[in-house]
Amino acid sequence: MSLNCPLFDCDLIVESIPKMLEGIGLTIELLFESAVLGLTLAIILLLMRISGRWYLVAPTMVYIYIFRGTPILVQIFIIYHGLPQLDFVRESILWPIFREPYGCAIVALTLNTGAYVSEILRGGVLGVNRGLTEAAAALGLSVRQRFIYITAPIAIRLCLPAYSNDVISLMKSTALVSTITLLDMTGIARTIVAETYAPYEVFISLMFIYLILTWVIQRTFGVVEKRLSRHVRSEV
């Protein structure tokens, strides 16, 4: 079966797509793992950031500043290429993680997204109407109870749009692991292009695959947002 396309080599497109899709498992794995780990890290950072204790707040702010102020590619390189230079890394029990590109990728993506998401969560927390936490305090709820039952549920709903954007960014960042030898979809695409000199067919098809992934993520969050907002018409 040979397709006859005027401008593009459609046979190549049909051939390449399945090959690139072999990498989708890796893409999704990277996305999922670093999203979950990153969210956990973000929650820890958030709690430190709002704790009010300077010895927790200051390091957190420095961490966030560094990870949001430097390119993620550089962060990936520092972890993958750079850490092996340090003796104590090579000798530590974590070395098996850092020795492999996959481990380095997860660490880099997690540390990076953790910084961004913690700021997003903080935005949500700050957006919670102060009167509501005061009312909870007036009823006698402890600080911890106020946070869990009042602040958190409302903050989560408030920061969902920004969080969904960050998950999409994270998905896009996974393509960078192709620079440290991992064969995700982008990595596979690059090898195909190197052999066939057909950047348009390969990269444009890959682009469509990513756009579909983006759409899936957006729709999923759209559904979640709708469910969580059913009680909202206008909030005092």
Length of the chain equals 236
Closest approach of another protein to the CB of residue 43, in Å: 19
Based on CB atoms, which residue is closest to another protein, 40 or 134? 134
Which residues are near another protein by CB under 8 A?
Answer: 65-66, 68-75, 77-78, 81-86, 129, 131-132, 134-142, 145, 149-150, 153-154, 157, 168, 171-176, 178-179, 186, 189-190, 193, 197-200, 203-204, 206-207, 210-211, 214-215, 231-236
Closest approach of another protein to the CB of residue 224, in Å: 14
Dihedral of CA 193/199/202/206: which sign?
positive
Closest approach of another protein to the CB of residue 225, in Å: 14
Report residue 207 as tokens: 């682009």
Closest approach of another protein to the CB of residue 1, in Å: 26
* Among candidate residues 13, 11, 25, the one with its CA nearest the CA of residue 189: 13
Based on CB atoms, which residue is closest to another protein, 60 or 178? 178
Based on CB atoms, which residue is closest to another protein, 56 or 193? 193
Q: Tokens 């444009």 identify what position?
A: 204
Based on CB atoms, which residue is closest to another protein, 55 or 197? 197
Kindly tell me the burial class for residue 37, based on how many C-beta atoms sit within 10 Å of its own C-beta (0-12, 13-18, 19 or more).
Answer: middle
Q: Using DSSP, how many helices (H) and how many strands (E) does the chain show?
A: 12, 0
Closest approach of another protein to the CB of residue 96, in Å: 19
d(CA 160, CA 229): 11
Contact 134, 180 (CB under 8 A): no
Based on CB atoms, which residue is closest to another protein, 40 or 199? 199
